[in-house]
């Protein structure tokens, strides 16, 4: 995995979507264009945490390298050097995959 030059702000997290090949029961491989947006990915960068009213920062629950499940339509998509990344708020991450 290459290092990207992005530093997410606040409670934002940058995720590299997981590309999973999907095969139907009859053995047909579905291309990425035929499937819905990915709901899983790997965390590659995290912000410093949500700024609270008292001026302190709430630490994030995820860290770089975590595999996560997130809400389907929540991420903002960006492309850097032909690679797709997602920017997600911590509130839109549903779980860490163990």
* The pLDDT value given to residue 25: 67
- The boundaries of the domain holding residue 20 are 12-97
**Which residue, among 90, 33, 92, has the nearest Cα to 63 in the 3D structure?**
90
Residue at 34 is within a domain: yes
CA distances from 3 to 28, 33, 43, 59, 85 (A): 35, 26, 12, 23, 12
Read off the pLDDT of residues 17-31 as tens digits, 9 standing for 90 and up: 987 656 666 767 666
Residue 9 φ then ψ, to 5°: -95, 150
Read off the pLDDT of residues 75-93 as tens digits, 9 standing for 90 and up: 899 998 888 999 999 999 9
Residue at 5 is within a domain: no
Q: What CATH number is given to the structural domain containing 63?
A: 2.30.33.40
């Amino acid at each position: 995995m290459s290092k990207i030059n992005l530093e997410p702000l606040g409670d934002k997290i940058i995720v590299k979507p997981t590309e999973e090949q999907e095969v139907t029961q009859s053995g047909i491989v579905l291309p990425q264009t035929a499937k819905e947006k990915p709901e899983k990915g790997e965390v590659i960068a995290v912000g410093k945490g949500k700024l609270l009213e008292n001026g302190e920062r709430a630490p994030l629950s995820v860290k770089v390298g975590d595999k996560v499940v997130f809400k389907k339509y929540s991420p903002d998509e960006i492309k850097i050097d032909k690679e797709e990344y997602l920017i997600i708020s911590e509130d839109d991450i549903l779980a860490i995959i163990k």
